[in-house]
């Protein structure tokens, strides 16, 4: 099974180098590595030239092709014709040594798979559920984790997801794939994280990443996977492990991020549920308001007051904008 690795990057030369060094140590090495660089300087190009990696091809894109979804589409178009699987990784990730081996093995175990995601192992603390699970905990397959204060509030208000992790409820705001435990199992899901994903090349020849998600592209992976899951099956292999470090460089300002949380969130909700029922509309809007108020509360209970206020303002403006200018779902 031949596979290509596409890494879309923007202004993150050092995190990218760390990722490539972890790729270099893989049990299975990619047949080709495509770096799609949207940076506005040459720092990434310079660091690639200073550090040689086998099978690597570097592309610097212009303004027209800059942005996560555009760069992914650009990279996919450059993939060699003999490739079976295309893997995507964010540029601030570091892989465990057998990541690709476990990931590709999933396609052999589940031959109906059209996409497989990796498992992030450094974001959530899991414990074996040897005692009774508390109200602020979530339990699955013999493991449990804390759900956080905002999810406790959602639970009390009946806004907590009733779906398995990796599946979107009718009012959106489901449990992300980081609610899947490090059990060693392979889980079928409806969406996977774009920054640790892979898809069959034949699929990517027919379905593209939506250019609605400009620039940073928040929830672009959710949109893509919701469309893809109508065609075939997606899986998360918890043995294909990696660390995600959420590097702050290359991110939008918090005001724009807040707007994207609401507008992009509304968009992917309507991709899954084009005509939601009244109760689901109420739940979506109530959840958006609740999470905005919780984020606004961070102005007084955290030391990042400006960031919290900017994001909250962006959420409010994004929410109000839906009343007069809803995104057109492609």
Strands 196-200 and 186-189 turn out to be unpaired
Least confident range from 139-148, 159-168, 297-306: namely: 297-306
Q: What phi-psi label fits residue 173: left (phi over 0), alpha (psi between -120 and 50 degrees) or beta?
A: left
213 has pLDDT over 90: no
| Alpha-carbon span 16 to 47, nearest angstrom | 9
Q: How confident is the model at residue 241 (pLDDT cuts 50, 70, 90)?
A: very high
| Domain extent listing, the chain | 3-121+182-244, 254-321
- What 3-state class would DSSP assign to 85? strand
- pLDDT at residue 105, rounded to an integer: 98
- pLDDT at residue 170, rounded to an integer: 96
193: closest CA among 233, 160, 221, 153? Answer: 221
Q: How confident is the model at residue 238 (pLDDT cuts 50, 70, 90)?
A: very high
Q: How confident is the model at residue 12 (pLDDT cuts 50, 70, 90)?
A: very high
320: closest CA among 280, 291, 285? Answer: 285
Helix (H) or strand (E) holding 7: strand 3-9
181 has pLDDT over 80: yes
Q: Which residues lie closer than 8 Å to 297 by C-beta, 6 or more apart?
A: none
The tokens for 123 are 């974001």
| Alpha-carbon span 125 to 285, nearest angstrom | 30
Q: Nearest 5 degrees, angle CA 152-CA 146-CA 296?
A: 50
pLDDT digits 0-9 by tens, 13-62: 999 999 999 999 999 999 999 999 999 999 999 999 999 999 999 999 99
| Alpha-carbon span 151 to 25, nearest angstrom | 38
User: Taking a C-beta distance cutoff of 8 angstroms, is the pair 225, 166 a contact?
Assistant: no
Which residue matches tokens 């904008």? 321
| Alpha-carbon span 292 to 262, nearest angstrom | 9
Share of residues in the chain with pLDDT > 70 (%): 100
- State the architecture of 3-121+182-244 in CATH terms: Alpha-Beta Complex (3.90)
- pLDDT at residue 214, rounded to an integer: 76
Q: How confident is the model at residue 130 (pLDDT cuts 50, 70, 90)?
A: confident
User: Would you tell me how many other CB atoms lie within 10 Å of the CB of residue 320?
Assistant: 11
| Alpha-carbon span 297 to 279, nearest angstrom | 27
Classify the C-alpha dihedral 159-163-166-168 as positive or negative: negative
330 has pLDDT over 90: no
pLDDT digits 0-9 by tens, 59-79: 999 999 999 999 999 999 999
Phi, psi values for residue 262, rounded to 5°: -80, -55
| Terminal alpha carbon distance of the chain | 33
Which residue matches tokens 């919701």? 226
- pLDDT at residue 239, rounded to an integer: 98
- pLDDT at residue 252, rounded to an integer: 79
Q: Which residues lie closer than 8 Å to 52 by C-beta, 6 or more apart?
A: none
Burial pattern 163-184, b for ≥16 Cβ within 10 A else e, equals eebbbbbbbbbbbbbbbbbeee
The tokens for 204 are 């990517």
The tokens for 322 are 């839906």
pLDDT digits 0-9 by tens, 256-312: 999 999 999 999 999 999 999 999 999 999 999 999 999 999 999 888 899 999 999
Q: How confident is the model at residue 124 (pLDDT cuts 50, 70, 90)?
A: very high
Average pLDDT over all residues of the chain: 95
- What 3-state class would DSSP assign to 122? coil
């Amino acid at each position: 099974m031949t596979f290509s690795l596409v890494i879309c990057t923007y202004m993150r030369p050092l995190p990218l180098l760390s990722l490539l060094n972890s790729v270099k140590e893989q049990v299975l090495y990619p047949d080709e590595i495509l770096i799609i660089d949207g940076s506005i300087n040459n720092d990434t190009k310079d660091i690639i030239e200073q550090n040689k990696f086998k099978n690597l091809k570097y592309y610097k894109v212009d303004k027209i092709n800059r942005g996560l979804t555009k760069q992914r589409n650009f990279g996919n178009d450059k993939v060699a014709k003999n490739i079976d699987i295309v893997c995507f990784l964010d540029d601030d990730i570091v892989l465990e040594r057998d990541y690709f081996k476990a990931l590709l093995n999933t396609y052999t175990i589940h031959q109906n798979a059209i996409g497989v995601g990796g498992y992030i192992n450094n974001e959530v603390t899991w414990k074996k559920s040897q005692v009774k699970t508390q109200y602020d905990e979530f339990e699955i397959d013999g493991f449990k984790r804390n759900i956080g204060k905002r999810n406790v509030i959602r639970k009390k208000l009946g806004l907590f997801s009733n779906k398995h992790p990796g599946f979107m409820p009718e009012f959106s705001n489901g449990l992300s794939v980081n609610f899947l435990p490090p059990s060693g199992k392979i889980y079928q899901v409806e969406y996977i994280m774009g920054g640790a994903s892979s898809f069959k090349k034949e699929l990517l020849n027919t379905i593209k990443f939506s250019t609605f998600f400009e620039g940073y592209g928040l929830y672009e992976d959710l949109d893509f996977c919701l469309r893809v899951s109508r065609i075939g099956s997606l899986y998360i292999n918890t043995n294909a492990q990696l660390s995600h470090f959420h590097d702050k460089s290359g991110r939008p300002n918090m005001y724009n991020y807040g707007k994207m949380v609401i507008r992009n969130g509304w968009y992917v909700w309507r991709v899954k549920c084009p005509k939601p029922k009244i109760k689901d509309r109420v739940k979506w809007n109530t959840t958006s308001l609740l999470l905005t108020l919780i984020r606004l509360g961070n102005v007084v209970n955290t030391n990042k007051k400006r960031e919290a206020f900017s994001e909250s303002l962006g959420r409010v403006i994004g929410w109000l904008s839906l009343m007069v200018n809803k995104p057109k779902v492609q």
